[in-house]
Each structure stands twice: as structure tokens, then as C-alpha cells.
Amino acid sequence: MSPTVRPRRRLLAALAVLTGLGLVVASPASAGTLYQETYRPQFHFTPDRNWMNDPNGLIWYKGRYHLFFQYNPSGNTWGNMSWGHAVSTDLVHWKQLPVAIPQDDEEMVFSGSVVLDRNNTSGFGTKADPALVAVYTSLVKSTGVQRQSLAYSTDGGTTWTKYSGNPVLDLGSANFRDPKVFWYAPTHSWLMAVALSDQHRISFYRSTDLRHWSHLSDFGPAGATGGVWECPDLFPLPVDGDAKKTKWVLAVNLNPGAVAGGSGAQYFVGDFDGTKFTADDSGTYTAPSGTVMQDFESGSYANWAASGSAFGGAPATGAVDGQSAVTGYGGQGFADSFHGGDATTGTLTSPPFTVNSDYINFRVGGGNHPYRPGSVLGDEPTPAGETLADFEGGTYSSPVGDWTATGDAFGTGPAQGTLPDQQQVSGYLGHGLVNSYLHGDAATGTLTSPAFTIDKKYLDFLIGGGYHGVSSDAPTAVELVVDGKVVRSATGANSEALDWTSWDLSDLRGKQARIEVVDGNTGGWGHIDLDQVVLSDTRAQPRSAETGVNLLVDGEIVRSATGSDSENLDWASFGTTAYKGKKAQLQIVDANTGGWGHVLADDFTAADKPALSVPQRAHWLDHGQDFYAANTFNDAPGGRRVMIAWMNSWNYGQTIPTSPWRSADTFPRQLALRTVDGTTQLVQQPVGELKTLRGAGADVPATTVTDGTTPLAVRGGVLELQARLTAGTADRFGLDVRTGGGRRTRIGYDTTTGEVYLDRTASGATDFDPSFSSTEHARLALDGKPLSLHILVDASSVEVYAENAAGRQVVLTDQIFPDPAATGVDLFADNGTATLNRLRAWQLASIWK
């Protein structure tokens, strides 16, 4: 792993006892007890304290599974990378041991693997008492160079000695890491798979002694390449349980650019001859044919209407002035809003047309700035009403009195725009604004308004700065305080572009209130911006900052797509079955003036089947947000292949609201290859040892739900669920877990798109990072047959194994941070009926007790 290419942003378990068919929640243990803190997983491995990321060095040896992991012995964020260590006899109950391989003054100890040198090829042990040998990436602190080094243990993995001849493999590269090593019997040699991360290549090396390595071949680029490649793994598996029919699996972790947008793990099935890996999937792709609506080949925009200056007077035929090379478009012409650079804006809109196909396919590229529902193009006028503050004076005076500042973040009066060393601030009105970056992010303080009477429906204001909500230990937020309680709050979006936010205060009319601007954060984005606070009967709408393609039906945006911060155009698709016969328009929008503030589009085609993007066509181990650095155990007994991944994401990993530890691993999964519809697919299941945690099972009888939600006779915060559901007439159906207090995590199936989805937008605490609130999707055709779900629910995670009747499987893993009291399980259906044919539930015991 490498922090230089990863973004650096910054449980109480509700135990249950069975009663009849329901799992009834017992009283939670007091917060703060080790392994029983709020959000502490109860059957997933976590270190007792401090930061953890990649699992590595996985090996079974003398009856124990050894789990090594990237670990910071000194803190709860990334740094001081060393190898932590835990052991288990059953893959379920783990005992944490002292740090195995610590960093030192010269190097940090990045990811790698451990092998048992049975034949003492390295000379570190003896044939009678062979050594365990760790092959790890050494980050040279003084240069940033990443090279491969060795450490060895002659006492079963308890203590380790770094090899005096390190490094054993050095290319002088800062992107050469994460070696996975194993013994390859046909050539009586060691093989290494290691990532050339920024080149999207996996290099294979051979050694007879673990000390001297020779290059064999490279694989890649292939599959998804939207981020760096890391943590490779290569292993054989029988197909359909037939030991005479073996395929090889190459797992490659990717950050960012995974199917869910951030960190993820893809895999390739193919053949390995001891020198070279060849994937079965060549990666070639032809989009479905259909009726061309616009391909920009005429040399003009024809009857598409352009506004603004971003799209120029005609389609581009290559990169325009100041733009990097553009790839992935069809033919000669395409729409490109980089005319004049990222600072320009505009739209390109098709004439109205009648929808007559199931899909509209197109290519899209450029900036990753999605459409936000409710946002509007252009600048709205300030809402009419009573201005509580516009911050245009030299002090914090206002029409309702003086605002009071504490601390050193806000100074004695409003800032006049951007402060020293701050990124450009935009979106405020006039000359002044509240800006707590006065002394940089390290400063803290509060700014409190005088009391005022709420006599209008809305409070509108412009806000920017850091995204650290009130549930954070160190918020950057604007709060509304009534009767001494915070009743509304808002935060920035890790952006210096202020945008409108509006609070509906209908239920608070007539009450006295104060506004408190809070900067309690000293880390990255540890400041808050505020301007133009207005009591109004008009709700302010946020400004659009999108770069993308929209489908409008009856003037409303019903589908949208955006680029991936790339000058390469990739396929996208809008499902339009529900809009057949209706009038619609396509609109290409550039409303963004910042980095990657442009959009590329081409080849709009009405078709009967969807076009698939490269990430959609890639093969993913998991479609969730929180599955990364996946790796398997060497030497697992019985030839079984068991995988564990880091259950976190580099998008927000360092800001998840856990303490005194940060990060968990996924529950171990056993892997197999299965033939489905003529192709070989990797399938996964929780290891069978999970059953040792089960309490008595609870069966829920068949239940039908219509247009709503039905609570089930199951409750618990730490659960295993096995369910089978049938759609009926519903557009969407499924199960909600961790429900209560208006919160839920939704595991659903969308019959209109043919996708399983995992929705954590209402799961609990989500305000610690703007990218956390999300819904993940995975295509899985049901063909009118039931959906099978195997769900693992822990104090801060949900893992979903979904399968159709043909045996095709998708898996989705997400972290959640629910209220410990939210322990319900519900059945739901939208716009029709659905049936729960079967549900069996188990309370799972804590592995820490």
C-alpha cells in the first residue's frame, strides 16, 4: 500500500436474546468498555486500539491462522506503518499479539505476504525447523522508494528479524508494492505477484531462495483502471468442485475507480503456466446496436441548442486548447465543454423526442460532479425575507444585534474573501463572509448570533468549508439552538464554494432561537464558511455544480450520469422503460468552474439493451464501498481458499466515528469457482465456522407486503439472516435492517433496473464525510424467480450475499453507524407487492466474550 496515492481524509453492540420468533434486545454494556464501545464490531476482527488497514501476510501454520495487518502502533489515523498480528484457531475468535514487524527510522513496513520455507531454501531456518518468511514492501522514508524486503521468524511468527541483505528486489520506483508470494510446485520455485501500481500492471517474478528474483512477465492494463492497482493475489481453484478442471484467479485491488466509486477489488479468471497469466475475458466490447439519436458527426450541433460558451460553436474532433488527450469517443466528433477551460459553463440540449426504447446509451467523460436533486442551474436571487446577517461590515454586527465570537478562528469581524494560504473561496455574496480559516485549520472557536424569533417558514444561508457534522468529535457546523438544544445543523462539503442550504422551521414558529457557528476541528478542512443568513418563506435551492448528462421527462430530471475525472469517454446507459410514450429531452450540462469542471459526451443511441461501462463489465469481488486489500491465506488446510479484506474505504477511512480503534476486517469468506450461464464465476460464502456463533434460530413465516413496510418478529444488532423473496408486482422490495427512530439500512432489489442494492443513506451517522451517504448497486437478473439473501449484520457493518435461481451471485459490503437502539428488521415493497417466502435468523455471539 502507499499513502502517497491514497486520499488522506480524515459498539455498543445491541446484544439479543431469543423469545419465540423474535430476537429481543438485551441491555447494552456501558460505552467505553474495551471491545464493547459504540460501533465496535462483535464478530469481525478489529485491533484493540489504533489504526488498521490492509490485511497481509495471511498464513495457516501449526493449527493457527495468522492475520498480519497494516497497523499504526501510535495512533488512530494512518502512519508509522508496521505489521500488527493476530491469531485464531477457527477464523472466528482472534487473539491480538504484539506488533510483529515494526517500522524503524529508515523504513515503514508496507503490505506483503508470509510463506513457510519448508525446504529451507532461504537458509533462515533448518529443514527440521523451517522459518516463516515475510516478503514485504519497504517504504524508504528518505526517498519514497518502494522495494521488496524480507523478515523471518524461527519461533512460529512471534518474533521477526529483518534480513540484513534487504532489499531483495528494487526497481527504484515509488509505485512498486504489495508482493504476494507462494510456492509453485511444477517449477520447484517461489513465485511473486507484485503491483506496478500507477502502470496498472501486475509483475510476476521467480526465485529459488526468496533472496534473488528474476522477472517472468507482466499482466495488464486490463479491467478497471480508474485508480492505482494494489495488493494482488494469485491462486488456483477447481471449477465446479472438479479437481481435474482448475482455473487460476488473479485478484487486483483498485483505488479509486471501483464499481462503487472508491476502493474495491476486482478479479480475473484465467490460466497460469508458471510464467504468464492469461485472462479468459479479453476485455473487448461492442455496445448494443440501436437507433442513433446524436453522434456529433455532422460537423455541427444541428438542432441541439447550446447555451453559454463551454461547448464552443461545433463538436470537437480531439482535445481543444489546453486540454489533455481525449480518448474513447466514436467516429470523429464529440461534445466537449472544455472550450475556454474549466472556468466556462454551458448546456447542450436536444430537441424534444418521444421515448420508444428501453434504454438510451451514450458515452460520457470529463469531471466527476454528479447532479444533485433539487439543485438549479445559474445563480438564484437571495430569498426575500428578514436578513439576520450579511457580514458586510467590519465587525460581526447585524440587523438583530451583535454576534459573539470565542476562540481564535473567527477573529473580530468578517473575512473579505479568501484568507492567506486558503484555496479560492467562491459563492458568497458581496465582499464579506464568516470564514474560520483565519489562522488556518488549527484554529478553533464559535460565533453565536443574538436571539431572534422564528416567524417564517425557512432559514436560508450560504455554507462552505469542512464536512465535520455535529456527531463528529470535532465538528465544523452551523447549528440552530432552541431551548438550549441543537435542533438543526449543517456542514460544508469539503469545498470552499459556498452553496445554499435551507432549514424548514415550520414546527418551530414563534420560538426564540440562536445560530451557533462551530469550528472545533484542527485537522484537514477544519474550518467553516457562512454568509447571507435569511429568514424567509421561500426555500433556497442549492446551485448546480454538475458536469454530466441528464434525461428530462416532463421538464424534470429523471436520470443523470457524470464522468470519472478522466478525458476518456466510457459507456453509460439510462433505463427508459418507465417513460415509453412520453416526451423527453437530453441535456449535457457543465455548471462547474473548478477542477475537472467540464464534460465530454458522444454516441447517444436508443437501444433495447444497456451499454455497460468498463467498471460495470469488470468482475468484482464485492460491489460495496467497504471491501479493499482483499487477500487469501497461504497453506489453509484441506486446500480451502479463504479471503479477508479491509472493511473500509480510502474515501473516508480516517474519519469514520470509531474510537479507540479505527477499521475492521470483513468476515472471512471461502471462495469457489462455479459455471453459470457458460462462464466461470467466483462465488463466496462466509466460512462455515460462523455457525459456532449462532444462538437458537428463529423462523419467520411467509409474509406478503404491499406498498409499504412490515416489521418482522426479529430484532437484533448482531445477526445472521437467510431469506428468500419474490417480487410480485413491486418496483422495489427487500429487507430493512437496523431499523428504529426513522433509521434503516435497506437491502433491496429494483425490478425496473434488475439490480440488488444496499442503501445506507438513512443508516445512522453519515455526516463525517460527504462521500459516505451512498447506495450501492449490482446487476443480478431474476427472470421472475426468487432472490436469495444471506446477510451478516454487525454493530457497524452489513455484508450481503445475493444469489439468483441460476446460481449467479453478487456480494455487497458497507459500513454503517446506527443508533445502538435501532435493532428492527422490516420487510418492504414499493409500488406493488412482494413476498418473503422464508426467513431464518440467528443472534450471533460476541467473539470478544
Residues carrying an active site annotation: 54
Q: Which amino acid is at 413?
A: G
Q: How far apart are the first and last CA of the chain?
A: 33
Max intra-chain CA distance, the chain: 86
24/792 Cα distance (integer angstroms): 17
- Residue 674 β-bridge partners: 681
Instruction: Name every residue whose Cβ is closer than 8 Å to that of residue 410 and which is 6 or more positions away in sequence.
Output: 396, 434, 436, 438, 445, 446, 447, 517, 519
DSSP secondary structure, 747-816, as one string: EEEETTTTEEEEE-TTSS--TT-TTTS-EEEEE---TTS-EEEEEEEETTEEEEEEE-TTS-EEEEEEE-
312/740 Cα distance (integer angstroms): 52
Write the CA distances from 370 to 233, 498, 548, 598, 653, integer angstroms: 34, 17, 7, 12, 22
459/563 Cα distance (integer angstroms): 34
838/165 Cα distance (integer angstroms): 60
- Residues 455, 492: contact at Cβ < 8 Å? no
- The cell for 9 is 481524509
Integer-rounded Cα Rg, in Å, for the chain is: 28
76/657 Cα distance (integer angstroms): 11
- Residues 399, 450: contact at Cβ < 8 Å? no
218/519 Cα distance (integer angstroms): 50
> Which CB contacts under 8 angstroms, 24+ apart, belong to 845-849?
845/42, 845/43, 845/693, 845/694, 845/695, 846/13, 846/15, 846/35, 846/42, 846/43, 846/718, 847/42, 847/43, 847/92, 847/93, 847/94, 847/693, 848/35, 848/36, 848/42
What are the backbone dihedrals phi and psi of residue 67, each rounded to the nearest 5 degrees, phi first?
-110, 110
Q: Is the dihedral of CA 361, 362, 366, 369 positive or negative?
A: negative
Write the CA distances from 672 to 520, 599, 637, integer angstroms: 49, 41, 15
138/574 Cα distance (integer angstroms): 46
409/396 Cα distance (integer angstroms): 13
Please tell me whether residue 61 adopts helix, strand or coil conformation.
strand
Please tell me whether residue 563 adopts helix, strand or coil conformation.
coil
The H-or-E segment that residue 566 falls in is: strand 566-575
DSSP secondary structure, 366-417, as one string: E--B---TT-BSSPPPPPSEEEEE---SSSS--TT---EEEESSS-SS-B-S
Q: Is the dihedral of CA 610, 614, 619, 624 positive or negative?
A: negative
- The cell for 780 is 443480478
Residue 217 DSSP class: E
301/12 Cα distance (integer angstroms): 59
The position carrying cell 469581524 is: 413
- The cell for 509 is 414558529
651/531 Cα distance (integer angstroms): 28
Beta strands (DSSP E) in 209-289 are 214-219, 228-239, 242-255, 264-272, 277-279
- Residues 127, 150: contact at Cβ < 8 Å? no
